[in-house]
Chains A and B, each alone.
Chain A
């Protein structure tokens, strides 16, 4: 094989701590290397042309580029060598930037290490084989998991593009957290006024299939061809019949059912439609609180229902959908502030969370939009807001900023003044994070026009005095202790990953970070893609996000899906396992261990059994290769001989 080696200076990124010329000259001593050079920016247009020129001029059959991480530019260089007529798998990268020049300053050691990495890459390349993709059809249907604003946006964008969309929402209604909000910052738009029409669109688009009260049971398959089992949870109401008239709710005797939609302020009935604009507007029986389902004689709803939709015998059912792409838009949950003993650990009725206050402010909320204290229904005069409850606090395992609390506190304080002009609002904060368009101006309006008092400092303690709450904290700007007697305290609880996010990630085979937020492919350049092809992210499941960002991500993910669906077929990845039938001893161990069921028996003439890999199902993990005793199954592009070649270069 005639091999060319190109050592990138990457400006001074590599050349600063690696003698690239020396690496190139040493590379010339490696077996099969006939050409070696270093270059200022190999990934640049002229850099790529230099590779292509050398391929032609020196008759190169394989190329090694020593530069940045292959996770960065391997596709770039593969395209470049392909244009010059080589198979793109006759290319190897040595990572001498992230793994060498950026992690050490000792130029001699770095140069030696870079030369070793090039030596290993060359050794591997000598065992490379041209690989070829095949084509497989794309099922142009999209699954959106989560019906919050990000998921709705993604679903509508794709549905507008003419694609079939399946949306799965585990709650009985779509709209997510946004449906619970009263107004939105920084424009004070009414949340349900801007979200409502989108929710209606979802229900009315003929090419959107909505599964509410449903969860993902399992996912199999791969990009272009996923099979998804969806568990439709028993709602005990036949939704095909239910008209959403609400007669059942009025008569249901189980009056002490917690009102989850209203964040447990007030109570609901065991059969419930959580809010008037709910989509789908269908009743669901809460099995934990229904009298009939708990062995008591009742059945009032069944008697009252004009369309006989009640079905106490209903069971969960599984439906199977086939899709070509998946968008995860599972949103977030809110921090449970009861871990803060100093804030009352949830014991004081007048210490509430931001989302509870949101429900109090809402005209469709538990108090009809009139601000009053949960404890005694009195109008509060002094209201204290606490920022960063469960955000930026490593002691409770939440060192990150939730990104939205500063803004919603400002909004809630402004709304409070609108509702109760005589009231006083105080905000305890650490720093004000208001980097969005018109955000800082909005916070300033709260301070300057609405007279909200901002106190920089943490609150040490909240305790009752009479029928009021005392908020004790420090004003770190003035350097004094502050004590405010409050009628109502609002804790701006932070964002955390949605309950069950990890389990879903495992089903999707995507990564998540230590807090349960899903990992994007690249934090800057591939923000809505995951490392699992065909699975995309939108909204707060990827990290704390406000509405504009969630919507933007919903659209971004939709555009990724549309560009995938613009093709009728996709190229398969040829880096999959392949069985050398001559060596296969038919022990079946590969079939036993394959996580994807990608290996099956094949019968040759004479009834001889051999293992066979289904290349479209194989994901290329190589467990079979590691397991196969005679190594008859080899993972292409990471074969035993290729890995051994690399290791051998390090064996003295």
Chain B
């Protein structure tokens, strides 16, 4: 890993006229966000959003209670993280009393579906959150960037139009955004938040409107013969170190320290580092998300071993869509399909 840990400096904005215009759009969104948050903050317990971090390629979550911090808020393709997990998981909300004011949160299209799922499963009530929806054109996967260019000491990363521009120790890299977007973004059907109180910026055009585009990677796996698929997953999952980062990052993995991959009562898994244990762990993760996963890709984003773990859930999402016509995180009033039934479906 050769990402530089130098703070981004405003002095490095050397860009063309067109890029300046596109940048202005982004800046406008940012300013609009600042303004709206500033207006809303007095009515909020806190505001959860993204802020620039010491790594120019990644943003960091920020929990704002004080208007002075609002200027740190940012949005755009570098804001990969799905923040909704903070609404249901410790420690962010441990100090927030139950009868507190609503919490403000920034969501992209995919993140908003997690919110819907959490509301649907009654982990959240709608009036507990003030949703700042941000249409999304896709988020940058820093590992894809790393694979494209040798990075030594990135000073700044800016997105201008369809390009990611990196200043790496004096060298400017201009990379097509399309080539470094996260895998899940390339089949995105919901770039615009499906639930929101305010919407920031202009709505985005979905990259996909059909199952084939959305599930292209699933189909790629399924084209392979069974033995190859097994070999593929054996080789991928063999790398799993069972750090549970995927589970911890998932906004819908709500069991936390009660997760059955770690308990003795019941004891589903031992600590043995065998392939069967790794398979079963990922089966448990996936089956517990069947009919609930919104495909936000957090599990894959945080995997230190670069295992395409979202792909496993994508397959189940595809099954749910094809078999039961259900996509998670769209309707807060729907019942997840595995928690209900239809006597009439004789041959599903």
Binding site for B on A (CB under 8 A): 580, 582-583, 585, 587-589, 592-593, 607, 627, 629-632, 634, 639-641, 644
B258-275 at interface with A (beta carbon < 8 Å):
258-260, 263, 265-268
- Nearest-Cβ distance from residue B94 to partner chain A, whole angstroms: 13
- A580 surroundings in chain B (CB, below 8 A): 265
Taking the complex as formed, is B232 at the interface, i.e. its CB lies under 8 A from any CB of chain A? Answer: no
Does B254 contact A587, Cβ atoms closer than 8 Å? yes
Task: Report the separation of the CA atoms of residues A639 and B338 in the bound assembly, to the nearest whole angstrom.
Answer: 21
What's the interface size class on B, roughly? 20 to 34
Report if A583-B263 is in contact (Cβ < 8 Å); known contacts: A588-B122, A592-B335.
yes
> What string of 1s and 0s marks CB contacts (under 8 Å) between B175-210 and chain A?
000000000000000000000000000000000000
List the A side residues contacting B267 at CB < 8 Å. Answer: 641, 644
Beta-carbon contact of B339 and A631 below 8 Å: no
Asked if residues B335 and A641 are in contact (CB atoms below 8 Å), the reply is no
Decide: A593 and B339 in contact? CB cutoff 8 A.
Answer: yes
Which among A585, A587, A592, A644 is the interface contact of B268 at CB below 8 angstroms?
A: A644
What residues on A are CB-neighbors of B283 within 8 Å?
none
B260, A585: Cβ atoms closer than 8 Å: no
B339 and A592 within 8 A (CB): yes
Chain A residues with CB under 8 A of B339: 589, 592-593, 627
By beta carbon, the residue of chain B nearest A642 is B266
Structural contact, B266 and A639, CB atoms closer than 8 A: yes
Shortest Cβ distance from B121 into A: residue: A587
Complex-state Cα separation, A129 to B288, whole angstroms:
28
B258 engages A583 (CB within 8 Å) = yes
Name 13 extra pairs, CB < 8 A, besides A589-B339, A629-B255, A631-B266: A583-B263, A585-B254, A587-B121, A587-B123, A588-B122, A589-B121, A629-B254, A629-B288, A630-B255, A631-B260, A631-B268, A640-B268, A644-B266
Chain A contacts for B266, CB-based, 8 A: 631, 634, 639-641, 644
- Contact partners of B254 in chain A: CB under 8 A: 585, 587, 629
Nearest A residue to B338 via CB reads A627
- Contact (Cβ within 8 A) A630 B258: yes
CA distance A582 to B268 in the complex (A): 18
Q: State whether the Cβ of B256 lies closer than 8 Å to any Cβ in chain A.
A: yes
- Interchain Cβ contacts under 8 Å between A and B, 27 examples: A580-B265, A582-B258, A585-B254, A585-B255, A585-B256, A585-B258, A587-B254, A589-B121, A593-B339, A607-B98, A627-B339, A629-B254, A629-B255, A629-B260, A629-B288, A630-B255, A630-B258, A630-B259, A630-B260, A631-B266, A631-B268, A641-B265, A641-B266, A641-B267, A644-B266, A644-B267, A644-B268
Contacts of A582 in B (CB 8 A): 258
Closest to A583 in B: B258
CB proximity of A639 to chain B, nearest CB, Å: 7
Cα–Cα distance between A607 and B97 once the two chains are bound (Å): 11
How many residue pairs between the two chains, A and B, have CB atoms under 8 Å in the bound complex? 49
Q: How far is the CB of A443 from chain B (nearest CB, A)?
A: 46
Residues of A within 8 A of B340 (CB): 592-593
Report chain B residues within 8 Å CB of A627. 338-339
Q: How far is the CA of A639 from the CA of B260 in the complex (A)?
A: 14
Say which residue of B123, B258, B268 sits within 8 Å of A632 (CB atoms): B258
Min distance, Cβ B20 to any Cβ of chain A, angstroms: 49
Contacting residues, chain A, for B258 (C-beta < 8 A): 582-583, 585, 630, 632
Residues of B bordering A, CB below 8 Å? 98, 121-123, 254-256, 258-260, 263, 265-268, 288, 335, 338-340
Q: In the complex, what distance in Å separates the CA atom of A639 from the CA atom of B263?
A: 14
Residue of A nearest to B289 (CB): A629
Q: Which residue of A lies closest to B99 (CB)?
A: A607
Distance (Å) between the CB of A597 and the closest chain B CB?
Answer: 15
Tell whether A631 pairs with B121 under 8 Å between CB atoms, given A585-B256, A592-B335, A640-B268. Answer: no
CB contacts (< 8 Å) of B260 on chain A: these are 629-631
Tell me the complex Cα distance, A215–B305, Å. Answer: 64
Query: 9 closest A-B pairs (Cβ-Cβ)?
Result: A640-B266, A630-B258, A630-B255, A583-B258, A641-B266, A592-B339, A629-B288, A631-B266, A631-B260
- Closest Cβ of chain A: how far from B88's Cβ, in Å? 10
CB proximity of A34 to chain B, nearest CB, Å: 24
Chain B contacts of A640 at CB under 8 A?
266, 268
- Find chain A residues with CB under 8 A from B288 CB: 629
For the complex formed, measure the closest distance between the CB of B226 and the CB atoms of chain A, giving whole angstroms. Answer: 21
Min Cβ gap A622→B in Å is 13
- B263 and A630 contacting across the interface, CB-CB below 8 Å: yes
User: When chains A and B are docked, how far (Å) is the Cα of A550 from the Cα of B8?
Assistant: 91
CB distance from B87 to the nearest CB of A (A): 15
Closest to B267 in A: A641
A631 to B255, CA, bound (A): 10
Q: Which residues of B contact A630 (CB under 8 A)?
A: 255, 258-260, 263
> Which residues of A have CB within 8 Å of B259?
630
Closest CB in chain B relative to A153 CB, distance in Å: 35
**CA of A629 to CA of B256 in the docked complex: distance in angstroms?**
11
In the complex, how many angstroms separate the beta carbon of B18 from the nearest chain A beta carbon?
50
User: How far does the Cβ of A410 sit from chain B's closest Cβ, in whole Å?
Assistant: 44
When distances are taken between beta carbons in the complex, the residues of chain B under 8 Å from A588 are: 121-122
Distance of A629 Cα from B258 Cα, bound (Å): 9
Complex formed: what's the CA distance from A627 to B255 in Å?
Answer: 13
* A630 CA / B267 CA spacing, docked (Å): 11
- Residues of B near A589 (CB, < 8 A) are 121, 339
In the complex, which residue of chain B has the Cβ closest to the Cβ of A590?
Answer: B339
Give min CB distance, B43 to chain A, whole Å: 24
Bound Cα distance from A355 to B9, whole angstroms = 99
CA distance A632 to B260 in the complex (A): 9
Which residues of A sit under 8 angstroms from B268, Cβ to Cβ?
631, 640, 644
Q: How far is the CB of B287 from chain A (nearest CB, A)?
A: 9
Task: State the Cβ distance, A224 to closest chain B Cβ, in Å.
Answer: 28
Q: How far is the CB of A628 from chain B (nearest CB, A)?
A: 9
**A580–B263 CA distance with the chains assembled, in angstroms:** 13
Q: Complex: how many Å from CA A74 to CA B270? A: 33
Please report the C-alpha to C-alpha distance between residue A607 and residue B255 in the assembled complex, in whole angstroms. 19
B259: nearest chain-A partner, CB-CB = A630
In the bound complex, how far is the Cα of B288 from the Cα of A639, in angstroms?
18
Measured CA separation A588–B339 after assembly (Å): 11
- Shortest CB–CB separation between residue A635 and chain B, in angstroms? 11
Closest beta carbon of chain A to B258's beta carbon, Å:
4
CB distance from A642 to the nearest CB of B (A): 9
Which B residues lie within 8 Å of A644 (CB)? Answer: 266-268
Least Cβ distance of A272 to chain B in Å?
37
Docked Cα-Cα span, A583 to B268, in Å, equals 15
Q: What separation, in Å, do the CA atoms of A465 and B118 have in the docked complex?
A: 78
A639 (CB) vs chain B CBs: closest residue: B266
| Residues of chain B lying within 8 A (CB to CB) of residue A593 | 339-340
Q: How far is the CA of A582 from the CA of B256 in the complex (A)?
A: 12
- B122 and chain A: residue at smallest CB distance: A588
Taking CB as reference atom, which chain B residue is nearest A606? B98
